[in-house]
Structure 1
Amino acid sequence: MEKRKKIGLLLLAVIGITVALIWGVRIQEMKNENTENLADEEKNDDLKGTTIASVILLEDQTEKVMQTAMRVTAEKYGATVIEGQSGGELERETRLLSDYMEQGVDAICIYPVSPTGSLAGLENAAKQGIDIYSVDLSMESKWLTGYCEANQYNIGQMVGKKCAEYIRENFPDRKPKTAIIQFSALLPDTSKSRTRGFLSMTQSLIDVVQDVDAWDASTSTPIVKEVLDANPDLDMIFCANEGGTVGAVMAVQNAGLKIPVFGIDITEQLVNMMLDDDNILQALGGQDPVQLGERSMENLCRYLMGKDYESEIVIPGILLSRSRPGEARDYIETMRQILEQGKK
């Protein structure tokens, strides 16, 4: 039995090293290739006179990078890009779509608020002759040109796998009491997929003592404080989005505790928290905003030009961890470069 256990641990170590090397290469590719792709590809005027609206949910760093990648990609074909942000609100999204129809845009590349709630407004726009390409959310409808999405379940799995390694090393003899911070009221499907992915790797290793909704940093800090107060013996926290992760780390810091946090979404603020000496935030999983923005807009543009294009794209996630600080710093530098490039 002891021999089998050692072999199992050896295999886990080999797998862990392999995954780390793969993601190290991926981040280096982003640094060396994606910014070059956005800047250096030969431009043409195939879409001159074409207006495309790009719509994101939130104005966080990740989505700004995604929207910048959309704009730069469309502009290389001579298209004019109008940028919007729904704030995750269906009513606001509907107003934006109405405005775009009045303005006579030719196409919309959009991160929809909901796979069900957004359908009516988008279908109405499609009936007006506007081509729709969905970003980061699969929506299978006949009128949809296509979609490019991140594998949210996979992102949760990646964080869960890293968390499982942490548990085996730091809680070898018991299941750590764990709180889960979701954002179900904001984006129920995405929150569920990420959390299910995380639990697929950790459920047998943890004891979930509380599962709450808190997705905005300003409100999640007091909510996580309540969780800490209600569970003085809490061992660990998993957060399914950026705001929840920021709030959880701040709540743990404010309480003077050292409870490890595992989060989803990658921003400069969160990476800095992960690299902090306080040893609270251990790992972050996230989407590849460059690929999401670039490939969705690229394929929408190809469709508008009458060329072959991809209508169903699923992109794997990215994992950054405290144990590999160089990769985390490289990732943030890449995001900064793309945002700067978008200002040119």
Structure 2
Amino acid sequence: MLKKFFIICSGSDTDILDNCSIGEQNKFAGIGATVFFTAVMAFIAASYALYTVFDNYFTAVAFGFIWGLLIFNLDRFIVSTIKKRGHIIDELIQASPRIILAVIIAIVISKPLELKIFEKEINQVLLEEKNSMTLANQNQIAEQYTPEIAALDNNIEFLRNQVNTKETEVNALYDTYITEAEGTSGSMKLGKGPVYKEKRDKHDTALAELQQLKADNKTKIEAIEAEITQLKTNYDTQIATTQPIIDGFDGLMARVNALGKLPWLPSFFIFLLFLAIETSPIFAKLLSPKGEYDFKLEDAETAVKTWVEQKVNERNVLLKTDRDINNKIYSDIAEEDELYQYKRKKARELMQLQADAFFKHQKNAL
């Protein structure tokens, strides 16, 4: 049963192969087994590749199964259409388009399996890329907020400098009226005289202005700090919103690009393995000598071809003979006087009717 199944997979004519030797049947069973297991590998590869895209087992398996059937049908078609010609050059020319197609199929099958085989190394490359993308993303978002935050910090620093400048002025006025009271500066008179009172009033006015300035600037600084806090919150929110996009940077294309950054030699050998598997049925048929099945298949095909050519030739001869007979018959009839007189009579009657009709028409017009 298994042998029969693999023979069907090889695309050979089972009616012809049933009458061939056991060795011939085993050869085509081996070719069919290669076609079948190549389709199985294509199913596994496609399922994994599609799982990285859809992240769903059922969807990946369903589409992978369809892809496996497609590869199976293509391989079966490639193998079944290669026929032994008896000349190696003709066979190579015949097989060249199929070999190119086999190479393409080998690439398509091997690439998803390479992604799975080198998954750990690919994950490491993706991790480094994600880290770089995270830092770049943070820097890009920071460029949107840093200038505004720096400007607000400068405003706070300016308001604080205003308070410090005013405090310095008030302290200076305080020292002035204290030294006036002590008699060590100003009027040089000890005691609290009119000059002391004037300087004390000036100090008290500046002190009240300082207290009002502190209150006003404190309100302004609190408002600016709240604005800075909001900007930092917006920055953190934008970072948190964009980070999942970076974390999800592990799709099929990202993994293929990451695979391209790894050493090429291991990946190349895996491709060669699948290329050998994919092209082995083709080269097996090309390199094997013309066997019993090939002779019987050629006999069946040439028998049909000969029969069709005979039918076409018979129809061509029949058509030519029929044409010659018709030409001779009409040539003989054309020489009969009775037929000539009859057609002459009918032509005369037709011309008379035409003359009468023309005369009647002209008369009505007048």
Does TM-score exceed 0.5, indicating one fold?
no
Q: Which has the larger radius of gyration?
A: 2
TM-score (norm: length of structure 2): 0.21
Query: Which structure shows the bigger proportion of residues in strand conformation?
Result: 1
